[in-house]
A and B are shown apart, each in its own frame.
Chain A
Amino acid sequence: MNWLSDNVNQLALLGAAVILILTIYVAGKYIRQMKTEKSTGVLAEENWDGIGEYKNELPAGWAYTFLGTIIWGMWYMIAGYPVDGYSQIGEYNDEVAQHTKMFESKWANADHETLKAMGEGVYLVQCSPCHGIAGDGMDGKAADLTVWGSADGVLETIKKGSKGLGFPMGEMPAGLLSGDAAKKVAEYVAGGMKGEQPAEFATCAGCHGPDGKGMGGMAPDISTYGSPDFVQMVLDHGKKGFIGTMVSFKGRLTPIQEKAVGTYILSLSHGE
């Protein structure tokens, strides 16, 4: 009798018993009535093939309820829905506006931990279908985010090239640098472009500019590589790259959410 320990099951069983008893009682009552009682009353004038009809008054409760529903129906048509300007879309818009306001004020100055936690939530819903729950890109089905944002990530990009972010400079060919040169540049870029610029960076400067800022929107600003700002840029642009296509999340995520996703992704490669 394990199932009886559930109170919903107990309630259902009780209800079933009550319904059964009531049915037997009511049916019995009417069957007895049909057997013994004779009908009385005034017959209406018309009859059909000898079958007549009594002139019965409507039961009061039934009649008032019927009248009530007619009056309520008229009120509903005229003063209630939909003529008084209520709409489901309006309610939705209000709800969203209210939520957006609350969201923005609540998380305007969110700290690192909060952003990371928020980012993880958004990541699991929006990003994990392609990049995988662990961010490893699921055997090359998408970019491996566990190295992205580090020197290894830059090395990957230099080795394989990059395309499809939608900048006027277009595709970055694979293998522009190799060996030690690539390594030096990778460490320099992943380190936030601080310290002395390696001479090999000249190869990158052709498109990204000597300061790496992308020459006013001609190419991606790689001085922000490895920061949430860069992730935000990729989320806004989408990417039609060598592995596959990533859609743009512009408008689907708020700037705070994008920053949160960036914070979370970086925690994957930086091991924070």
Chain B
Amino acid sequence: MFHWLEKRPFFFSVGVFLVIAFAGLIEIVPDFAQASRPVAGTKPYTLLQIAGRQTYIKDSCNACHSQLIRPFKSETDRYGPYSLSGEYAYDRPFLWGSKRTGPDLHRVGEYRTTDWHENHMWEPTSVVPGSIMPAYKHMFHQNVDLETAYAEALTDKIVFNVPYDQPGMPKLGNSKEDFPAAQKMALEEAKKIAAEMKNQDVKDAVARGEIPEIVALIAYLNSLH
């Protein structure tokens, strides 16, 4: 049988294709299942949250923190309900992570608050004695790159059909001409977060119309639930 195939490269190629295509199909088909659709209530990230997400990626938070709660009691007791695939529908890329040096963050918005994050990012050991997480003080005076965040969100909307500007969904706009309006909305959102913070430099920066990274990052972390 194998000699027959070896003598006929065309059929051999077809056979190889079929075998590999079957394996591919098994991987792809589940993505069309209902379970992979966005879970009800899942919303795309707002501009400020995207900027925070970029900060999260830039400072490599995902190297030590996972965002995937497995269905084990020990995990759901500590981190909240197990993760569903449909919850990552608007994550590009998803930040599941592969290593938990620190705790999982997939639902951190449910049990940590703005003021806690502020204390923790400024000096982790001030709230978690024995923590080995480094301090992220630079986030308090470095501003986010809102234009890049807007470009990412706009790409998500146009290329991947992420439902921005639809009823009940965050507003974004359709082109770079809409950026000033989106920037204004992000600033409004940032003001609400800064109001719950204590750091005067951050409050001043937001009042001046700037958005420090810490504000965007907290907006992102609070959105995780």
Taking Cβ atoms with an 8 Å cutoff, the residues of A that contact B are: 44-46, 53, 88-89, 91-92, 95-96, 99, 125-126, 129-130, 133, 138, 141, 243-247, 252
Q: Give the CA-CA distance A243 to B127 in the complex, in Å.
A: 15
- Contact indicator A88/B127 (Cβ below 8 Å): no
Q: Among the listed A45, A99, A141, which residue makes an inter-chain contact with B127, where contact means beta carbons less than 8 Å apart?
A: A141
User: Which chain A residue lies CB-closest to B198?
Assistant: A244
- Contact indicator B114/A92 (Cβ below 8 Å): no
How many residue pairs bridge A and B at CB < 8 Å?
A: 53
Interface bits B190-204 vs A (CB < 8 Å: 1, else 0): 000000100000000
The interface size of chain B toward A, counting residues with CB under 8 Å, comes to 23
Q: Among the listed B78, B115, B196, which residue makes an inter-chain contact with A125, where contact means beta carbons less than 8 Å apart?
A: B78
30 example contacts (A-B, Cβ-Cβ < 8 A) are as follows A44-B3, A46-B3, A46-B7, A89-B82, A91-B71, A92-B71, A92-B76, A92-B82, A96-B73, A126-B111, A129-B112, A129-B116, A129-B127, A129-B128, A130-B116, A130-B127, A138-B126, A141-B115, A141-B119, A141-B127, A243-B115, A244-B113, A244-B116, A244-B196, A245-B113, A245-B115, A245-B196, A246-B113, A247-B111, A247-B113
Q: Which residues of B are found within 8 Å of A243, using beta-carbon distances?
A: 115
Interface membership of B110, Cβ < 8 A? yes
Nearest-Cβ distance from residue B56 to partner chain A, whole angstroms: 19
Interface membership of B80, Cβ < 8 A? yes
User: Which chain B residue lies CB-closest to A132?
Assistant: B127
Chain B positions 1-16 with a Cβ under 8 Å from a chain A Cβ: 3, 6-7
Q: Which residues of B are found within 8 Å of A96, using beta-carbon distances?
A: 73, 76
Q: Give the CA-CA distance A88 to B110 in the complex, in Å.
A: 25
Q: Which residues of B are found within 8 Å of A99, using beta-carbon distances?
A: 73
Q: Give the CA-CA distance A211 to B117 in the complex, in Å.
A: 40
Interface membership of B17, Cβ < 8 A? no
Interface centre among B71, B114, B126, B128 (most CB of A within 10 A): B71
Interface membership of B129, Cβ < 8 A? yes
Q: Which residues of B are found within 8 Å of A46, using beta-carbon distances?
A: 3, 6-7
Interface bits B21-50 vs A (CB < 8 Å: 1, else 0): 000000000000000000000000000000
User: Which chain A residue lies CB-closest to B118?
Assistant: A244
Q: Which residues of A are found within 8 Å of B114, using beta-carbon distances?
A: 244-245
> 10 tightest A-B contacts by CB?
A244-B115, A92-B71, A245-B113, A247-B111, A46-B7, A96-B73, A141-B119, A89-B71, A88-B71, A130-B116
Q: Give the CA-CA distance A99 to B196 in the complex, in Å.
A: 39
Q: Which residues of B are found within 8 Å of A246, using beta-carbon distances?
A: 113
Q: Give the CA-CA distance A247 to B76 in the complex, in Å.
A: 17
User: Which chain B residue lies CB-closest to A257?
Assistant: B77
User: Which chain B residue lies CB-closest to A87?
Assistant: B71
Q: Give the CA-CA distance A125 to B72 in the complex, in Å.
A: 17
Q: Give the CA-CA distance A243 to B80 in the complex, in Å.
A: 25
Known: A245-B196, A252-B111. 20 other contacts (CB 8 A): A45-B3, A46-B3, A46-B6, A46-B7, A89-B71, A92-B72, A95-B73, A96-B73, A96-B76, A138-B126, A138-B127, A141-B115, A141-B116, A141-B119, A141-B126, A244-B113, A244-B114, A244-B116, A245-B114, A247-B112
Nearest-Cβ distance from residue B137 to partner chain A, whole angstroms: 17
Q: Which residues of A are found within 8 Å of B72, using beta-carbon distances?
A: 92
User: Which chain A residue lies CB-closest to B128?
Assistant: A129
Nearest-Cβ distance from residue B86 to partner chain A, whole angstroms: 14
Q: Give the CA-CA distance A126 to B128 in the complex, in Å.
A: 12
User: Which chain B residue lies CB-closest to A133?
Assistant: B129
Chain B positions 89-139 with a Cβ under 8 Å from a chain A Cβ: 110-116, 119, 126-129
Q: Which residues of B are found within 8 Å of A133, using beta-carbon distances?
A: 129
User: Which chain B residue lies CB-closest to A100?
Assistant: B73
